[in-house]
């Protein structure tokens, strides 16, 4: 009886030991005692140092990947042997964009493929293409978060990592001038023509717009608001005032003049980034009689008239005496 | 460290060797390490980078643990001004992460250690349990916090001011809209620059704005009085500055204004009134003078219906016979018109007399005496008459004397008066005749 109990006890203990040992020794995805095998991918890339132009071409970033099969264990040779078993098996290094702003379109050309090599790292390449919408805020901190995954293969554990690719969207210098009161005015020579010009920001950054009068007819004078600042919000607008004065010398006038203006957008935060200078032309016609300067002649006229009247009286008197 | 809008700061981040105080340099790669490398990433931005204002770059992004490699990377942190001024970026902590990836070889044995250390390593690998991580990949992140102090950004934006028209001698308050584009609450002062001394300007008052806030400040202007202003343009430049930096102008705007119109001050009104008065006096003087001259030439004919006797007669006639009354009145009006025409013609003729035509007076012809007979040729003597003295016959040609223009205006006026009186008397007589006729016809009937 005692012997049987002892033998049962020994059997139980051995059994438990064996099960535990097997659980510890047999390689699984978690750390095992005998050996472990895992994928490893080392990622090298460079952030885009330049800018990505909105509505522009695709920008490409090249990822240099180094794939290695990591093995190790209590018996290194056993681990190596286990790795050799998997040698030659194809694997795919999946690269997937998982997060980016709404105005970014990101796509990976092709997930690179390789086969498992023991003690030989595999150099791979992948290309990430990025395109930016016109909504992208200029220098607004663009980024694409990528997840790089190598799935589990047999006893080789899964590998996963994330990388952030950063870039700056470029500046889109688009402003649209509008003329609520038209581009033509008819005024008198003693009047002043005032044109409001509404400027709308169609770009993606806070923009300063400079205005300059390029040419105007002689004797006409014009002034315009030097500069305005438009907020980044799409559709933000400001009004610029162009004022034109025609020649106003005494007499009748019937003349017209075309006024040419240039405007140049510029990013407020980065004054080096300017848009193209574009022209605006407006027409003003001056028609009518100008009384400016009449005070110079009217007083002498009055004096002359009075003198003539007095002389006339003397003449009449003289004739009557005759 | 300190950073401002649109600025970039550079610094190094890596594994520090606390003994030397410098970044670690890999001396030797342990034999139990299969592979090891370090990546860098941003764990947390100061404001969660909601508006994309931060850009953090690492160079290099990955450092492999090789012999001689220095475990550090260059970090560049750029701060862009936010797209909306209200989303101001203020100081905060930038948390960077250094992600170290270990790929372990065989952790059970450490060939770098001599015996008996290597034996104890293996023993501890069993006891500690880390041996079972052989052949695995492990990632660990170490965090680095960088305190970033955002420099105050002083920026303000003026909205455009429309071209405005005013009258001379007017005081106006022009609203100027201002927005704070900076990143802190800021107080802005204003300076006014103008080259016109006659225009009096009150500088806009200082205002305090939070980031993105928009408010109006007011520019007070007094335009000088000017009697007649056809249109004078005034350029007024306003400069804004932060009270933290009073010598730095952060924004500028030129306001264009025009004065136009007539202004009557008390003095000029008085002057104008005096001038008008003088002109009126002269004109009245000339009118009355002319009238006086005209009256001296000839008195204007009276209106017949205003003469007292005629007036009385017309009154009675109107009561008696309306139709007759109208007829008589019409006759009187015609007569008056005719008298006026004559009067005007007469006065005109006096003022502008017609040139007098001088007619040649014919010469007086003398009859020539006869020639005496010559002695040799005797002729029969005719009975001689007693020769009378020959008379020089003067053939008189009638001299037409032109009527001389009467200079005596008084006499002429009297003559006209007489004529008018005669006319009136004749008219009365005519009326009486008519009355008598009527009476007689009535009696006869």
Nearest beta carbon to residue B55 from set A161, A166, A245? A166
Contacts of B235 in chain A (CB under 8 A): 223
CA dist., res. B65 & res. B70, Å (int)? 8
- State whether B303 and B415 are in the same domain: yes
- State whether A27 and A106 are in the same domain: yes
- State whether B346 and B439 are in the same domain: yes
B 118-157 residues with CB < 8 A to A:
131-137, 139, 157
Contacts of A185 in chain B (CB under 8 A): none
- State whether B25 and B131 are in the same domain: yes
Residue A9 included in any domain: no
Q: Is B40 on the interface with A (CB under 8 A)?
A: no
pLDDT band at A286 (very low <50, low <70, confident <90, very high): very high
Residue B305 included in any domain: yes
- State whether A123 and A231 are in the same domain: no
Residue B372 has pLDDT above 70, yes or no: no
- State whether A60 and A148 are in the same domain: yes
Token couple for B324: 């007759």
Share the mean pLDDT of chain B: 81
Across the A:B interface, residue pairs with CB atoms under 8 Å apart total 196
- State whether A61 and A196 are in the same domain: no
Residue B404 has pLDDT above 70, yes or no: no
Nearest beta carbon to residue A238 from set B80, B160, B289? B160
CA dist., res. B267 & res. A254, Å (int)? 38
Q: Which residue has the tokens 């500046």?
A: A171
Share the mean pLDDT of chain A: 85
Query: Do the beta carbons of residue B39 and residue B99 sit within 8 Å?
Result: yes
Q: How far is CA A235 from the centre of its chain?
A: 15
- State whether B102 and B60 are in the same domain: yes
Residue B144 included in any domain: yes
The DSSP-derived string for A105-135 is EEEES---EEE--SS--EEEEEEEEEEE-TT
Q: Which residue has the tokens 């190598």?
A: A150
Tell me what percent of the residues of chain B surpass a pLDDT of 70.
84
- State whether B238 and B204 are in the same domain: yes
CA dist., res. B2 & res. B90, Å (int)? 11
3-state DSSP assignment of residue B131: helix
CA distance B363 to chain A (A): 30
Measured torsion, CA atoms of residues B209, B212, B215, B217, in degrees rounded to the nearest 10: 60
Nearest beta carbon to residue A140 from set B42, B52, B353? B52
So what's the pLDDT on residue B275? Answer: 80
Token couple for B359: 């007619």
CB atoms under 10 Å from CB of B386, counted, come to: 4
Range of the domain at B441: 298-351+408-445
Cα–Cα distance list, B416 to A196, A319, B300, B406 (Å): 77, 21, 10, 13
Tell me what percent of the residues of chain A surpass a pLDDT of 90.
33
Residues sharing a CB contact under 8 Å with residue B445, sequence separation 6 or more, in sequence order: none
CATH number at residue A204: 2.60.40.10
- State whether A46 and A122 are in the same domain: yes
Cα–Cα distance list, A288 to A247, A251, A257, B165 (Å): 11, 8, 15, 21
Q: Where does a domain end: B150, B184, B213? A: B150
Nearest beta carbon to residue A295 from set B58, B181, B228? B228
- State whether B114 and B193 are in the same domain: no
Nearest beta carbon to residue A73 from set B41, B106, B137? B106
Residue B394 has pLDDT above 70, yes or no: no
Residue A17 included in any domain: no
Residues sharing a CB contact under 8 Å with residue A170, sequence separation 6 or more, in sequence order: A51, A52, A53, A54, A56, A132, A138, A273
Residue B345 included in any domain: yes
Residue B278 included in any domain: no
Cα–Cα distance list, B345 to A198, A309, B300, B421 (Å): 72, 21, 12, 20
Residue B319 included in any domain: yes
Query: Do the beta carbons of residue A207 and residue A229 sit within 8 Å?
Result: yes
A 257-296 residues with CB < 8 A to B:
268-270, 292, 295
Write the DSSP symbol of residue B130: G
So what's the pLDDT on residue A27? Answer: 45
- State whether A163 and A185 are in the same domain: no
Residue B373 included in any domain: no
A 102-131 residues with CB < 8 A to B:
none
- State whether B29 and B166 are in the same domain: no
CATH number at residue B184: 2.60.40.10
- State whether B432 and B309 are in the same domain: yes
Residue B379 included in any domain: no
Residue B210 has pLDDT above 70, yes or no: yes
Token couple for B157: 């934006």
The count of residues in chain B is: 445
- State whether B433 and B328 are in the same domain: yes
**Shortest CA distance from B347: residue in chain A:** A320
pLDDT band at B143 (very low <50, low <70, confident <90, very high): very high
More confident position, B244 or B430: B244
- State whether A164 and A184 are in the same domain: no
Q: Is B23 on the interface with A (CB under 8 A)?
A: no
> B296: closest CA among B347, B241, B250?
B347
Cα–Cα distance list, A202 to A136, A174, A226, A234, A271 (Å): 12, 5, 20, 6, 18
Q: Where does a domain end: B97, B118, B150? A: B150
Within B321-399, residue ranges assigned H as helices are: 322-351
- State whether A31 and A148 are in the same domain: yes
pLDDT digits (tens, 9 = 90+) for A11-66: 777 766 665 554 455 444 455 667 888 899 998 888 777 778 888 888 888 888 99
3-state DSSP assignment of residue A78: helix
> A129: closest CA among A144, A107, A96, A145?
A107
Average pLDDT on B78-101 reads 85
Query: Do the beta carbons of residue A116 and residue A148 sit within 8 Å?
Result: no
Residue B378 has pLDDT above 80, yes or no: no
Q: Where does a domain end: A153, A169, A185? A: A169
- State whether B108 and B40 are in the same domain: yes
Measured torsion, CA atoms of residues A277, A283, A286, A292, in degrees rounded to the nearest 10: -10
First to last CA, chain B: 140
- State whether A161 and A78 are in the same domain: yes
CA distance A170 to chain B (A): 13
pLDDT digits (tens, 9 = 90+) for A52-95: 888 888 888 888 899 989 888 887 788 888 888 888 889 999 99
So what's the pLDDT on residue B363? Answer: 56
**Shortest CA distance from A141: residue in chain B:** B52
**Shortest CA distance from A234: residue in chain B:** B83
So what's the pLDDT on residue B402? Answer: 46
Query: Do the beta carbons of residue A202 and residue A301 sit within 8 Å?
Result: no
- A226 contacts B254? CB cut-off 8 A: yes
Q: Where does a domain end: A169, A185, A206? A: A169
pLDDT digits (tens, 9 = 90+) for B299-349: 778 888 888 888 888 888 889 888 888 988 888 888 888 888 888 887 777
**Strand order across the B92-104 sheet:** B2-3, B137-150, B92-104, B33-44, B62-64
- State whether A207 and A126 are in the same domain: no
Residue A319 included in any domain: no
Token couple for B336: 């008056």
ipTM: 0.72
- State whether B214 and B331 are in the same domain: no
Cα–Cα distance list, B53 to B1, B5, B8, B147, B185 (Å): 17, 9, 12, 16, 19
Interface mutation target, options A74, A180, A200, chain B, most CBs of B under 10 Å:
A74
Average pLDDT on B273-290 reads 82
Q: Where does a domain end: A135, A169, A203? A: A169
Domain tally, chain B? 3
Domain tally, chain A? 2
CA atoms within 13 A on the CB side of A63: 28
Average pLDDT on A235-250 reads 90
3-state DSSP assignment of residue A153: strand
> B23: closest CA among B93, B98, B92?
B98
3-state DSSP assignment of residue A208: strand
Range of the domain at A217: 175-291
Q: Where does a domain end: B123, B150, B177? A: B150
Residue A228 has pLDDT above 90, yes or no: yes
More confident position, B403 or B84: B84
Residue A231 has pLDDT above 60, yes or no: yes
So what's the pLDDT on residue B362? Answer: 57
Nearest beta carbon to residue A140 from set B83, B161, B297? B83
Residue B371 included in any domain: no
Residue A3 included in any domain: no
Residue A143 has pLDDT above 60, yes or no: yes
CATH number at residue B128: 2.60.40
3-state DSSP assignment of residue A53: coil
Residue A304 included in any domain: no
Q: Is B354 on the interface with A (CB under 8 A)?
A: no
- State whether B323 and B442 are in the same domain: yes
> A232: closest CA among B81, B83, B156, B155?
B83
Q: Is B346 on the interface with A (CB under 8 A)?
A: no
Q: Is A24 on the interface with B (CB under 8 A)?
A: yes
- State whether A139 and A54 are in the same domain: yes
User: Helix, strand, coil proportions of chain A in percent (round to 5)?
Assistant: 20, 45, 35
Average pLDDT on B262-291 reads 80
- State whether A149 and A185 are in the same domain: no
Average pLDDT on B29-53 reads 85
CA dist., res. A256 & res. B76, Å (int)? 58
Residue B151 has pLDDT above 80, yes or no: yes
Residues sharing a CB contact under 8 Å with residue B52, sequence separation 6 or more, in sequence order: A101, A137, A140, A141, A142, B80
């Amino acid at each position: 009886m005692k012997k049987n109990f002892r033998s049962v006890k020994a059997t139980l203990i051995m059994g438990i030991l064996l099960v535990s040992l097997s659980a510890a020794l047999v390689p699984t995805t978690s750390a095992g005692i005998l050996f472990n095998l895992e994928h490893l991918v080392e990622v090298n890339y460079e952030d885009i140092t330049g800018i990505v132009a909105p509505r522009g071409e695709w920008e490409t970033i090249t990822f240099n990947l180094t794939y290695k099969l990591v093995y190790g264990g209590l018996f290194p040779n056993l681990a190596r042997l286990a790795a050799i078993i998997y040698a030659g098996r194809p694997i795919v290094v999946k690269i997937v964009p998982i997060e980016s702003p709404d105005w970014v379109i990101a796509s990976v050309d092709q997930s690179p493929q390789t086969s498992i090599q023991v003690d030989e790292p595999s150099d791979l390449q992948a290309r990430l293409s990025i395109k930016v919408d016109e909504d992208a805020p200029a220098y607004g901190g663009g980024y694409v978060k990528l997840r790089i995954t190598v799935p589990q293969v047999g006893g080789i554990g899964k590998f996963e990592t994330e990388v952030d690719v950063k870039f700056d969207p470029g500046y889109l210098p688009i402003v649209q001038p509008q003329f609520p009161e038209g581009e033509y005015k008819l005024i008198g020579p003693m009047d002043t023509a005032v044109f409001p010009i509404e400027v709308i920001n169609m770009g993606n950054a806070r923009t300063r717009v400079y205005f300059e009068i390029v040419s105007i007819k002689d004797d006409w004078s014009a002034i315009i608001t030097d500069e305005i600042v438009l907020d980044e919000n799409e559709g933000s607008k400001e009004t610029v005032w162009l004022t034109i004065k025609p020649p106003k010398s005494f007499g009748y006038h019937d003349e017209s003049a075309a006024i040419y203006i240039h405007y140049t957008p510029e990013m407020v935060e980065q004054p080096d980034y300017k848009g193209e200078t574009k022209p605006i032309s407006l027409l003003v016609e001056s028609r009518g009689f100008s009384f400016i300067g009449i005070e110079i002649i009217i007083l002498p006229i009055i004096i002359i008239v009075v003198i003539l009247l007095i002389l006339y009286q003397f003449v009449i008197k003289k004739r009557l005496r005759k | 460290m300190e950073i401002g809008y649109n600025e970039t700061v550079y610094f190094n981040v890596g594994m520090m060797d606390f003994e030397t105080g410098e970044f670690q340099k890999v001396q030797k790669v342990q034999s139990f390490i299969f592979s090891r490398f370090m990546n860098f990433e941003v764990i947390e931005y100061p404001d969660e980078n909601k508006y994309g204002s931060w850009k953090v770059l690492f160079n290099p992004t990955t450092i492999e643990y090789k012999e001689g490699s220095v475990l550090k990377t260059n970090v560049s942190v750029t701060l862009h001004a936010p797209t909306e001024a209200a989303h101001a970026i203020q100081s905060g902590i930038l948390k960077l992460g250094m992600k170290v990836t270990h790929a372990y070889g065989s952790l059970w044995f450490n060939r770098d250690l001599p015996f008996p250390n290597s034996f104890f390593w293996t023993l501890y690998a069993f006891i500690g349990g880390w041996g079972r991580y052989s052949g695995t990949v492990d990632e660990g992140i170490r965090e680095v916090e960088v305190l970033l102090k955002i420099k105050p950004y002083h920026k303000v934006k003026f909205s455009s001011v429309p071209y405005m028209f005013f009258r001379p001698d007017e005081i106006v308050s022009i609203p100027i809209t201002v927005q704070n584009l900076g990143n802190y609450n800021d107080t802005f002062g204003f300076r006014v620059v103008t080259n016109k001394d006659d225009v009096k300007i009150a500088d806009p008052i200082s205002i305090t704005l939070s980031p993105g806030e928009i408010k109006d400040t007011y520019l007070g202007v007094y335009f000088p009085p000017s009697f007649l202003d056809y249109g004078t343009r005034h350029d007024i430049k306003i400069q804004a500055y932060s009270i933290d930096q009073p010598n730095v102008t952060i924004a500028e705007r030129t306001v264009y204004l025009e004065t136009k119109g007539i202004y009557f001050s008390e003095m000029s009104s008085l002057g104008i009134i005096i001038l008008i008065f003088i002109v009126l006096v002269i004109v009245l003087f000339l009118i009355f003078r002319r009238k006086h001259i005209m009256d001296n030439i000839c008195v204007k004919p009276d209106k017949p219906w205003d003469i007292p006797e005629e007036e009385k007669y017309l009154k009675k006639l109107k009561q008696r016979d309306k139709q007759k009354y109208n007829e008589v009145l019409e006759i009187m009006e015609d007569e008056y018109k005719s008298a006026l025409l004559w009067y005007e013609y007469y006065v005109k003729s006096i003022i502008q007399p017609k040139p007098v035509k001088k007619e040649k007076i014919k010469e007086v012809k003398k009859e020539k005496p006869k020639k005496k007979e010559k002695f040799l040729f005797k002729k029969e003597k005719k009975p001689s008459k007693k020769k009378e003295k020959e008379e020089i016959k003067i053939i008189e040609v009638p001299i037409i004397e032109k009527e001389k223009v009467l200079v005596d205006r008084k006499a002429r006026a009297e003559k006209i008066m007489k004529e008018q009186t005669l006319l009136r008397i004749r008219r009365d007589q005519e009326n009486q005749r008519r009355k008598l006729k009527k009476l007689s016809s009535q009696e006869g009937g």
